[in-house]
Chains A and B, each alone.
Chain A
Amino acid sequence: MALDRKIAYIDLSTGKIQIKPIPLEMRKKFIGGRGLDAYLLYNHAPKGCDPLGPENPLIVSGGLLTATCASATARTHFMAKSPLTNLLGSCNMGGFFAPELAWAGFHHLVIKGKAAKPVYLWIRNGVIEIRDAAHLWGKTTTDTQWAIRQELGDDEIKSAVIGSAGEKLVRFANVMTGIKNSGGRTGMGCVMGSKNLKAIAVRGTLDIKIAHPVEALDFNKKFIDQITSAKVSQIQGTLGTPFIWGATNCWGGVRNRNFQYNQMEYADEIEPEAIDDIATRTAGPHHMTGCFGCQVHCRAKYKVPSGRYAGKYDEGPEYTSLGAFGGEPDCRSAETVLTGNYLVNQYGVDNLEIGSLIAWAMELYELGIIGPKETEGLELRFGNDAALLEMIHRVCTRTGWLGNALADGGIPASQAIGKNSFDYLIQVKGMNNLHSDERGTPGLALNIATASRGSDHLRSRPAIDLYHLPEPVLRKIYGSPIPYSGPLSSEHTEYVGKAWQVFWQENCYMAVDCLGICKYHTVFLGATLPNFEDWPKVIYYNTGLEFTPEEIWAVAERCNNLERLFNLREGLTRNDPIKGDTLNHRYFDEPCRRGAPDVIGARIDREKFNAMVDEFYEHHGWDRDGVPTAATLKRLGLDREPTHTL
Chain B
Amino acid sequence: MDKFLTVNADKCTGCRLCELVCSVVHEGVSNASKSRIQVVKWEEEGRYIPMICQQCEDAPCKNVCPVGAISRDKDFGFLKVNHEVCIGCRSCIGVCPFGAMNYNPTRRRVFKCDLCGGEPQCVRFCEVKAVDFVSAGAVSAQKKRLSASRQSAASKQAAALGEH
Chain A residues within 8 Å of B27, by CB: 207
- Residue among A206, A210, A228 making CB contact with B127, cutoff 8 Å: A228
Q: Is B29 an interface residue (CB 8 A)?
A: yes
Residue contact B13 to A288, C-beta cutoff 8 Å: yes
From A228, A286, A291, A294, B10 is in contact (CB under 8 Å) with A286
Binds A, one of B41-49, B66-74, B86-94, B137-145: B41-49
CB proximity to A under 8 Å, residues B13-47: 13-17, 20-21, 24-25, 27-34, 41, 43-46
Contact B46 A283 (CB under 8 A): yes
**Please, which residues of chain A bring their CB within 8 A of the CB of B121?**
217
Which chain A positions have C-beta within 8 A of B16? 96, 292-293
B13 contacts A224, C-beta separation under 8 Å: no
Q: Which of A602-622 contact B (CB under 8 A)?
A: none
> How distant is the Cα of A624 from the Cα of B105 in the complex, in angstroms?
60
Determine which residue in A96, A99, A221, A293 has the highest number of CB atoms from chain B within 10 A of its CB, and name it.
A293
B83 is an interface residue with CB less than 8 A from chain A? no
Q: Which has the most chain B C-beta neighbours within 10 Å: A99, A286, A294?
A: A286
Asked whether B46 lies within 8 Å of A315 as measured between CB atoms, the reply is: yes
Pick the contact of B13: A69, A179, A297 (CB < 8 A): A297
Asked whether A290 is an interface residue with its Cβ less than 8 Å from the other chain, the reply is yes
Task: Mark interface residues in B80-118 (1 if CB within 8 Å of A CB, else 0).
Answer: 000000000000000000000000011000000000000
- The answer to whether the Cβ of B128 comes within 8 Å of any Cβ in the partner chain is yes
Given A142-B44, A221-B125, A315-B46, is A103 in contact with B13 using a C-beta cutoff of 8 Å?
Answer: no
Q: At the interface, yes or no: A67 with Cβ under 8 Å from chain B?
A: yes
Which residues of chain B come closer than 8 Å to A228, judged between CB atoms? 127
A221 CA to B34 CA, complexed, in Å: 21
Expressed in whole angstroms, the minimum distance between the Cβ of B81 and any Cβ of chain A is 21
Interface size class of A (residues with CB under 8 A): 35 or more
**Provided the pairs A289-B14, A297-B13 are in contact, do residues A205 and B31 lie with their beta carbons within 8 angstroms?**
yes
* Cα separation A482 to B6 with both chains bound (whole Å): 48
Cβ of A284 < 8 Å from any Cβ of B? yes
CB-based contact A207/B31 at 8 Å: yes
CB distance from A19 to the nearest CB of B (A): 20
CB distance from A22 to the nearest CB of B (A): 18
Verify A293–B17 contact, CB threshold 8 A.
yes
A471 to B1, CA, bound (A): 54
> In the bound complex, do residue B46 and residue A289 qualify as a contact, i.e. CB atoms below 8 Å apart?
yes
Q: B150 within 8 Å of A by Cβ? A: no
Pick from B20, B29, B45, B106: contact of A293, CB under 8 Å: B20
Fill in one digit per residue for A198-222: 1 if any B CB lies within 8 Å of its CB, else 0. 0000000111111001001100110
Report the nearest B residue to A103, measured CB to CB: B31
A301 to B44, CA, bound (A): 11
8 Å CB interface, A259-300 against B: 283-295, 297
Inter-chain contacts of B32 with A (CB < 8 A)? 99, 103
* Residue interface bits A144-176, CB-to-B below 8 A is 1, else 0: 001000000001000000000000000000000
User: Is the CB–CB distance between B28 and A290 below 8 Å?
Assistant: no
Is A179 a contact partner of B43 (Cβ separation < 8 A)?
Answer: yes
Q: Determine if B15 and A291 form an interchain contact, defined as CB atoms under 8 angstroms apart.
A: yes
Name the distance in Å between B59's Cβ and chain A's nearest Cβ.
Answer: 27
Q: Tell me if B11 is interfacial: C-beta within 8 Å of chain A.
A: yes
Contact of B29 (CB < 8 Å), options: A155, A209, A284 = A209
Q: Which residue of A lies closest to B46 (CB)?
A: A301
Interface presence of A189 (CB below 8 A): no
Given the known interface contacts A67-B30, A209-B29, the answer about A295 and B44 at a Cβ–Cβ threshold of 8 Å is no
Flag whether B156 is at the interface (Cβ < 8 A). Answer: no
Q: Which residues of A contact B125 (CB under 8 A)?
A: 220-221, 224, 295
| A293 cross-chain contacts in B, Cβ below 8 A | 15-17, 20
The closest CB in chain A to the CB of B40 belongs to A155
Whether B44 lies near A313 (C-beta < 8 A) is: yes
State in angstroms the CA–CA spacing of A65 and B14 once bound together: 20
If A286-B10, A289-B13, A293-B17 touch, whether A69 touches B24 (CB-CB below 8 Å) is yes
A189→B24 CA distance, assembly (Å): 35
Shortest distance between the CB of A342 and any CB in chain B (Å) = 13
Q: Once the chains are docked, how many angstroms separate the CA of A329 from the CA of B96?
A: 56
Contact B24 A216 (CB under 8 A): yes
Select which of B13, B31, B44 is within 8 A of A208 by beta carbon.
Answer: B31
Q: Report if A67-B43 is in contact (Cβ < 8 Å); known contacts: A207-B106, A221-B125, A297-B15.
A: no
Find the A residue at minimum CB distance from B30: A208
Give the chain A neighbours of B21 by CB distance below 8 A.
69, 217
Is A292 in contact with B11, judged by CB distance below 8 angstroms? no
With A179-B43, A293-B17, A293-B20 in contact, do A207 and B30 touch (Cβ < 8 Å)? yes
Whether B24 and A292, one on each chain, are in contact in the complex, defined by CB atoms closer than 8 angstroms, is no
Partner of A217, one of B24, B45, B106: B24
Which of B30, B41, B43 counts the most A-chain CB atoms under 10 A from its CB? B30
User: Which has the most chain B C-beta neighbours within 10 Å: A210, A287, A291?
Assistant: A210
Is the beta-carbon distance between A295 and B30 smaller than 8 angstroms?
A: no
A295 in contact with B17 given A210-B29, A217-B24 (CB within 8 Å): yes
Q: Which residues of B contact A99 (CB under 8 A)?
A: 32
**Inter-chain contacts of B30 with A (CB < 8 A):** 67-69, 103, 207-208, 210
Q: Select from chain A the residue with minimum beta-carbon distance to B127.
A: A295
Encoded as 1 (CB less than 8 Å from any B CB) or 0, chain A from 175 to 200 comes to: 00011000000000000000000000
Kindly state the separation between the CA atoms of A142 and B27 in the bound complex, as whole angstroms: 34
Return chain B residues, CB-CB under 8 Å to A210.
24, 28-30
**A206 surroundings in chain B (CB, below 8 A):** 31
Also in contact, A297 and B128, with CB within 8 A (given A103-B32, A208-B31, A210-B28): yes
CA of A285 to CA of B9 in the docked complex: distance in angstroms? Answer: 12
A residues less than 8 Å from B11 (CB atoms): 286
Q: How distant is the Cα of A210 from the Cα of B34 in the complex, in angstroms?
A: 14
Q: Tell me which residues across on chain A come within 8 A of B33, comparing CB atoms.
A: 103, 205
Could you tell me the distance between the alpha carbons of A406 and B22 in the complex, rounded to whole angstroms? Answer: 49
Distance, CA A285 to CA B10, complexed state (A): 9
Q: Quick check: B14 and A290 within 8 Å, CB to CB?
A: yes
Residue of A nearest to B17 (CB): A293
- The answer to whether residues A290 and B46 also contact, given A206-B31, A207-B29 and a CB cut-off of 8 A, is no
Determine if A284 and B10 form an interchain contact, defined as CB atoms under 8 angstroms apart.
yes
Complex Cα–Cα for A292 and B39 (A) = 12
For the complex of A and B, the 9 pairs showing the least CB-CB separation, nearest first, are A207-B29, A301-B46, A205-B33, A297-B13, A290-B15, A208-B30, A290-B13, A295-B127, A293-B17
Residue numbers of B with Cβ under 8 A of A are 10-11, 13-17, 20-21, 24-25, 27-34, 41, 43-46, 48, 105-106, 121, 124-125, 127-128
For this complex, 19 residue pairs linking A to B, each with C-beta atoms less than 8 Å apart, are A67-B30, A68-B30, A103-B30, A103-B31, A178-B43, A205-B105, A207-B27, A207-B31, A209-B28, A217-B24, A284-B10, A286-B10, A288-B13, A293-B15, A293-B16, A293-B17, A295-B15, A295-B127, A313-B44
Q: Which A residues have a C-beta under 8 Å from some C-beta of B?
A: 67-69, 96, 99, 103, 142, 146, 155, 178-179, 205-210, 213, 216-217, 220-221, 224, 228, 283-295, 297, 301, 313, 315
